[in-house]
Structure formats: structure tokens, C-alpha cells
Amino acid sequence: MTHRTRALIGGMCAFLFAIPAVAAPADLLIRGGVVYTGSDPPFAGDVAVTGDHISAVGRHLRVKARRVVDARGMIVAPGFIDPHTHVGDDLASDDARRRLVPAFLMQGVTTAFIGNDGGGAIDVKAVLDGAKKRPVGINYATYTGFGTIREAVIGMDDRAPTPDELARMKAMAGNAMCQGALGLSTGLFYAPQSFSKTDEVVALASEAAKRGGYYDSHIRDESSYTVGLKAAVDEAIAIGREARLPIHISHIKALGVDVQGDAPDIIARIDKARGQGIDITASQYPWSASGTSLVASLIPLWAQDGGRAVLLRRFDDPSIQSRLRAGMVENLRKRGGAGALLIVEGPYKNRRLDDIARSIGKDPVDAAIAVIRIGDPATVSFNQSEADIAAFMRQPWVMTDSDASTGHPRVYGSFARKYAKYAVADHVITVRQFIESSSSRTADWFHLAGRGHLRAGAFADIVVFDPRKYAARATYEQPTLFAAGVRTVLVNGRIAVDQGRLTGIAAGRALPRTPAPGSCS
Ligand SMILES: [Zn+2]
């Protein structure tokens, strides 16, 4: 290389690097915050946004901008990504404000996965096209659902599919993948998915695997109901091994008195599988109570077979009373007793089962049956130990999720709570670990192109929050209070939260997954 070419290249490099400073002004400059990029140690600096992209990130950007957000004293981070939610109905709502998913934006969550727990759509194209017709506040990707597919083909029956039925189920899963599904989700705890055997799940997961998809699971047992927590984790690992695809265990936990303290054993199993080349991760919500329904928490699975109408008839069938009651007594014990179940909707809203039982003069099992006769209310179940929560949270393969569904403060507060309680107050993790487990770790593992990092060229999904104030305000009794402390949220470069208030701007996009080349011809 001649001296002259070297000088020329050097000059070009200098010129290229100078472009951000002297080119057309950025649309927005977030100035003077503590910047967590998602991969680097935090530093005091600026983030410039042009159009829907981040145009520069650095310590002292010499960038002119049409608007400057003063972020001094604030943390600037990639918008948070939630891989397990139930906000699909919100995103498809007729109500434009509901489609903003305000509870998420007010925590800085800019991307959510939907279709979890096996409930994802078969017509994935329609779900992904929704955002084009009716604007949404956050980005979303969707799974297709094992439960939806199984129910469409064989209903609520407790049996294996026939070869013909299995072929139809596989075709549905494959087609959904070709329409842009992220992968196959399952909720093997729930009927009718609980009626499946592992090989049936492997058959459908293989359809996702062929097209480069993921397997997401609410595992068969998070407690000691059926196969037990350890066997359920082993089943998820086996599905990854046999179907050959990345496995994600959603809302990982050790639920109930029989399995509390098992987190280290579960972690060891997953680490061993990872060591053997199984690509397995998990996500977790930062609450000791899970959200469920009264039926799901107390009624034995055999008694749920056939659906609600059959269950109500079983309540009146003398021949099975003792078996049904024994099952409910046992489930109540596993859940930690009637005082550990909080009903959060319907006529008994915000009352614990022991309190309801006392007030209507029945024992807890009869009280639960009386409540279920009216409906199947959302129920909060206090059933995890803080030691288990902390052990899972520290793992480098655990991401933040919310499992957002009504009646539990996790919808409005999961990310903010993980920061305020587990990073700042209890030092279970660092602030950097909180941010990365809530953004880049998720984006990288799920290959969400251009998301989860603050760097030039990435989509401008950004949260600016006050490190002294960011916290959940939602509680079990008042689950719909917005989180505190979020100042500014950008979704695809547009300001969704400004000065702590929703702007009403709906800049979210559907994130269809591109199937593996040649897998959908
Ligand atoms: Zn779930």
C-alpha cells in the first residue's frame, strides 16, 4: 500500500466518522444520560435518532437535532422486550387506547411476544397484518399455539391424535410458521394440551424446527401436580433434543410447597443440557405469586376433561364426590392453603379463599366449588420462595417476562419491580443485568434483528427512566396502577411516552419471523 492510498483511506475514515456530526440534523438527541447499550458498561453519553433508527451513540455527540431530550440524571436503555405475555387481545382491540398497551409503555416495554401458553393463532398472517390496519403501541411477534391447533383438530378430548389428525396438526403448525410465526408455544399444564404425550409435541415442534422457529413452553408441571417440576423440565429438554430446536421455558418457577427449594436442581439440569449443546433458555416474572384461575389452581385435571359444562355436572355427581374433593384438598395443600389464594375478579374480587369460606360458612373446598359454579375467576396464588426467585434470576440464560394477564400486578409492574426490588433494593442482580436480561439478551437469543441494543443502525426503541423513581406501583389489591419513573419511551423512533405521559402515538410494528430459506416452498 502506498503512502498516498494509506492517507486516502485514513482521510476517508475520518470523513466517514465525521458524518454524524456534520450531516443533516438528527430528529432527536437524548443528551447526557447514563447510557446502557445492552452490551457495554454504562457511560455518560448521548443517543441520536433519525427516522426510525438510532443514528449515533457516544459520549459527546456533536449532533444537531430538531429536538433534545435532557436525560441528565436518567438511565437511557434499549426498550424492554417481554417474551411471554397475554396482550394479544389488547393489540387486536377495537379500542385504540387499549392497542397502545399503556401498561407496557409506561414501564418502557416496547416489544412483546404473544400467542404463548399454546394459545397462539393458527392464522398467524391475520395476527401479524393487524398492526397495518389498526396501529398498535408496541412491537410484537407471535407464536402459533399447540393448544389452539390441538383443540381445532381433536377438541377437548383426552386421547392421542389419529395419524390423520396428527398430519393435519403438523400441517397447521408448518403453515403458521410460513406465515411468520416465531415458533410453537405450548401450555402443557392446561387441558387439552395436558392430554398430549411428548412424542405428539415433538412432532409439531419439528415443524417449527424445520423452519428455524423456537419452542416456547409453559411446562407440563411447575409443581407436583402430575409428572412434577423436574420431569417437566426434563421433557422440555428432551423436546429440544429430539425436535432439534431452541427451547424456552416461560415464567420459570418452583410452584408450591412440595417443590420450593428445587431451583438449584432445576438450574443444574438446564446447565447440563446447555453443556450438551441443547440451546435452552428461560424467562421469569419477579413475583412470588402466580396468576391462574380458580379451576386451574384447584380442580384435578381429570375433572377438567370435557370442559366447563362437564365439570359443573361432576360437582353434582355423587359417585365421584370423594375423589373430586380429595383431589381439591390435595391441590389446596400444594398451593399453600386457602389463605394463599386471592380471587381477583367477579363477586369475590380481592378476597382470599379462607375469608370467602368463613363468610359463607363452608369449608374451603365447598367455598371454591360455590365460586366456580358462578364462574372461573382469575386467581393469584402465593406459592414461590424468594430464594428460588433469586436463584433463577441470577442465571445468564434467564430473561425478564411478565406473563401479563388481567388480575395480577405483573401486567403493570413486572419490569419496574424487577429493577426496583431485585436490582436496587435487594441487590440480587445489578442494574446492568436487569437491563440486559430485559432487552439485549432476549433480542439476541430470539434473533430480533435490530432490536434490544442502543447502537447506530438499530431501531430506535428506547426507554429513559429516573433511576431513583422507576418502580412498580401496582399491587395485588390494586393491580392496574402505572409504574413510576419512566420519562421518555421511543418506539421505532417515535415518542410514545413524553415527560412521563402517553402521547397516544402508536408506532409499534408486527415482527414476522422469516422462515428458514427453502422451508416454505
Ligand atoms: Zn403460562
Separation of CA 313 and ligand 1 centre (Å) = 27
pLDDT tens by residue, 176-196? 999 999 999 999 999 899 999
Q: Are 264 and 391 in contact (CB under 8 A)?
A: yes
pLDDT tens by residue, 139-151? 999 999 999 999 9
Quote the CA–CA distance of 439 and 455 in Å, as a whole number: 13
Task: Describe the crossing of helices 198-210 and 229-243 by its angle, rounded to 10 degrees.
Answer: 40
Residue 250 CB contacts under 8 Å (≥ 6 apart), including other chains: 83, 84, 116, 117, 216, 217, 218, 282, 283, 401, 403
Cis peptide before 467 (omega within 30 of 0): no
Separation of CA 218 and ligand 1 centre (Å) = 5
Nearest to 511 by CA among 172, 83, 107, 217: 83
Taking only Cα atoms into account, the Rg of the chain, rounded to an integer number of angstroms, comes to 24
How confident is the model at residue 3, as a pLDDT?
43
Separation of CA 148 and ligand 1 centre (Å) = 14
For residues 215-222, give the mean pLDDT. Answer: 97
Q: Are 496 and 428 in contact (CB under 8 A)?
A: no
Separation of CA 6 and ligand 1 centre (Å) = 59
Separation of CA 521 and ligand 1 centre (Å) = 33
Separation of CA 501 and ligand 1 centre (Å) = 30
Mark 430-462 as b/e (b = at least 16 C-beta within 10 Å).
ebbbbbbbbbbbbbebbebebbbbbbeebbbbb
Model confidence at 407, pLDDT cuts 50, 70, 90, reads: confident
For residues 367-390, give the mean pLDDT. Answer: 95
- For the chain, count helices (H), then strands (E): 20, 22
Separation of CA 354 and ligand 1 centre (Å) = 25
Separation of CA 116 and ligand 1 centre (Å) = 7
pTM as predicted = 0.90
Separation of CA 118 and ligand 1 centre (Å) = 9
Separation of CA 59 and ligand 1 centre (Å) = 41
Separation of CA 371 and ligand 1 centre (Å) = 23
Separation of CA 186 and ligand 1 centre (Å) = 9
How confident is the model at residue 404, as a pLDDT?
84
Separation of CA 469 and ligand 1 centre (Å) = 30
Separation of CA 305 and ligand 1 centre (Å) = 19
| C-alpha distance from residue 335 to each of 193, 214, 294, 374, 394 (Å) | 22, 31, 11, 22, 25
pLDDT tens by residue, 294-314? 999 999 989 998 899 999 999
Separation of CA 379 and ligand 1 centre (Å) = 14
The secondary structure of residue 421, as a DSSP letter, is I
Mean model confidence pLDDT for the chain: 94
Separation of CA 405 and ligand 1 centre (Å) = 10
How confident is the model at residue 518, as a pLDDT?
95
Would you state the cell numbers that stand for residue 152, as one nine-digit string? 381445532
How confident is the model at residue 290, as a pLDDT?
84
Separation of CA 503 and ligand 1 centre (Å) = 31
Q: Are 245 and 215 in contact (CB under 8 A)?
A: yes
Separation of CA 60 and ligand 1 centre (Å) = 44
Quote the CA–CA distance of 350 and 461 in Å, as a whole number: 36
Quote the CA–CA distance of 93 and 87 in Å, as a whole number: 10
Percent of the chain with pLDDT over 70: 95
| C-alpha distance from residue 60 to each of 19, 47, 54, 359 (Å) | 14, 9, 15, 65
Model confidence at 241, pLDDT cuts 50, 70, 90, reads: very high
Which residues is 31 bridged to in the sheet? 70
Separation of CA 378 and ligand 1 centre (Å) = 13
Separation of CA 401 and ligand 1 centre (Å) = 11
Model confidence at 14, pLDDT cuts 50, 70, 90, reads: very low
